[in-house]
Structure 1
Amino acid sequence: MKYLTDQMLIEVYHRAVDLQLDPDFIELLNTEIKRRNIGHTQVVSA
């Protein structure tokens, strides 16, 4: 996760949700988004 930029992380998160990937993987991405303090508006607008 540390090699992903914030923008890449958001894109991966959206792609994982769209593809309905494993919920545990999506939660891992969500946890990283929260850890980096990426605001909700940044995640929604990406």
Structure 2
Amino acid sequence: MKYLSDQMLIEVYHRAIDLQLDSAFIDLLAAELKEREIRIGQVSA
């Protein structure tokens, strides 16, 4: 995950939700967003 830019991580997170990917993968992305102190409510889809 460290190789993804913040913007790419946000895009991947939103895309994973749109595609209804595995919840464990979405949780992993959400944890990385939290680690980087990116609040999901603040980002635009």
TM over 0.5: yes
Residue 41 (1) aligns with residue 9 (2): no
Aligned residue pairs, count: 44
Q: Give the root-mean-square deviation of aligned CA atoms.
A: 0.8
Question: TM-score of the superposition, structure 1-length normalised?
Answer: 0.88
Question: TM-score of the superposition, structure 2-length normalised?
Answer: 0.90
More helix as a share of residues: 1
Gapped runs of 5+ residues in structure 1?
A: none
**Runs of 4+ displaced beyond 6 Å:** none
